[in-house]
Structure 1
């Protein structure tokens, strides 16, 4: 992040979701509830998978990682948005904006990669059930996650090093509730044409590759499902795949809409509502779509609940005896 001190702008002002004072408290209550459910839902999935021995397999390992990424992803933007709505503090330092942009890029890209890995995992499980555990062994699962975190971190560092070297001479009002790339580039007084090209090439490759991989994987999965004789089995498989594809479509669709189209003053206004979908709504829905509808997760949650209940009863009985 060199040359930051050369920038004339030392802070930015986030215009937020609404300019109306009457709407701020209802919006704060709504997004606070959504953020709380996101944290609790994803944290529950991680805790259940870690504590349940029967869920220690590749599928749930990746589900746990998706929940962890969703916690990180939503925590990049939601706390600042809630702070701005409640306290009406809209300023963020230049360094804080750049840092938020780095973690946004990293966690959003990681979400893309984890979704692609999960699609591959399901493809192997359905098409090669006998070789599933030999293909998706522990070393392979860890290698896929470590590679993804490393690659997305380097990807984010590349973009942040370029953005932080740009000059921002003013104005300094960002048409968003967090520091996002399109409105930030609109404020730069540097020539951003070459960087725009980088976004459309390297950036689109990073997001488009997982998306294409997910589509191809689910197409092959659906093809395998069509060969299932049982109508009930077909319905359950189609239901699962359709819900997964809905989540994938929402996330990738809003990413493409936000970052890979020509920017204008009108598009910046539209982006404010679209970014809510991928930054707030998708992490909220993922636990319900991928995990909490899963029968094994439900059984594991019930076991943990009854185990805790028995422990509480035993403690109460001991206290009464003493």
Structure 2
């Protein structure tokens, strides 16, 4: 937070045109009914804990089991880490505000939250595209899979995704810092979302909107086009397989990834299409819970329920930890 505050001060000094005097925003949240606040707190705390625990188990399983040290599970552990960060960007602040009956978030805190939300949502999109490419190589070029998907190349893909999205989130934050706002601004959302902040500015937002939509088309649209291309080739290759068992085996490796793609893109696209019709509608805020909270929570279940390797690794991990706990208890008893 101190780093971002310094960054905000630097930009305000570097660009005199930024005359923002606002010190904080007000996050209206999901509901202003006091009777619903305990329910909202309990519900979101439960979803947050399930999301963090589920994704953490996926990461621990892939690290602890040597059989899962493959490109497919390396790419699977990365979205799990990103999802933990993604939910941690918004839910803790919602929980604090709900518990303390406060709606405020500082200007620097709001820009920080927006910056990290853009970063981790963009990483989710890029990693889904990389996973689609991994399945494309595995199914369409199985004999060259080991040669193409080398560890160095896999790390390079993830590194490039991080660099692109860090630059994108940083650039959007700089653009946002050029805008001026009135005081006591109310954000009809439970977190600082780029589109809402742009619409609340009192200065000219034409450049910001152009940059925002161009970035959405190039990054999200380009990534989605990559997923569609990969799966068009995958479907062609699966159809060319002669045996029904072979087709089923090839397709089963893509089911989990496809489910996550449909869930993430379906919910996020639905939210932004509805926000174009009713920008400040409470229903849009509620619907955004689907892609920002529910989807990261569901991903570990989607990836593990249909994956025998993950279930086997989780079972071994639990057995190993159970043995450690029993040994520690016995030692304590002896002492």
Normalising to structure 1: TM-score of the pair? 0.92
Match of 1:169 in 2: 182
Residues in 1 aligned to 2:238 and 2:332: alpha-carbon distance in whole angstroms:
55
Gaps of 5+ in 2: 1-7
User: Aligned pairs, how many?
Assistant: 322
Over 3 Å counting, the alpha-carbon distance change for 1:319 and 1:178 in structure 2 is closer
Matched residue, 2:117? 104
Partner of 2:4: none
Q: Distance in 2 between matches of 1:86 and 1:9?
A: 25
Partner of 2:34: 21
Are residues 232 and 310 of structure 1, via their aligned partners in 2, closer, same or farther at CA, if it must alter by over 3 Å?
same
Report the CA distance shift for 1:130/1:187 in structure 2 as closer, same or farther (over 3 A): same
Q: Does 1:198 align with 2:220?
A: no
Equivalent position to 2:297, from 284, 291, 307? 284
Q: 1:261 to 1:275 in 2, by over 3 A?
A: closer
Does the C-alpha gap of structure 1 residues 319 and 161 become closer, same or farther in structure 2, counting only changes over 3 Å? Answer: closer
Give the Cα–Cα distance (whole angstroms) in 2 for the partners of residues 185 and 253 of structure 1: 24
Q: Distance in 1 between matches of 2:37 and 2:274?
A: 30
CA distance in 2, matches of 1:185, 1:321: 64
Q: Does residue 1:152 correspond to 2:175, yes or no?
A: no
Secondary structure of the residue that 1:169 maps to in structure 2? coil
CA-based RMSD of the aligned residues comes to 2.3
Question: Does the 8 Å contact 2:180/2:202 carry over to 1?
Answer: yes
Q: TM-score, normalised by structure 2?
A: 0.88
**1:301 positional shift:** 1.4
Q: Is the 8 A contact 2:26 2:184 kept in 1?
A: no
Structure 1 pair 129/85, CA: closer, same or farther in 2 (3 Å)?
same
Task: Give per-residue Cα distances to partners, 1:123-142, cap 9 Å, x unaligned.
Answer: 10111111111101011011
Aligned to 1:89: 102
Query: Match of 1:3?
Result: 12
Alignment partner of 2:138 out of 125, 133, 144: 125
State the 1:10 CA deviation. 1.0
Q: Which ranges in structure 1 are unaligned for 5 or more consecutive residues?
A: none
Aligned residue in 1 for 2:230: 217
* More displaced 10-residue stretch of structure 1: 261-270 or 73-82: 261-270
Is the contact between residue 87 and residue 292 of structure 2 (CA under 8 Å) also seen in structure 1?
yes
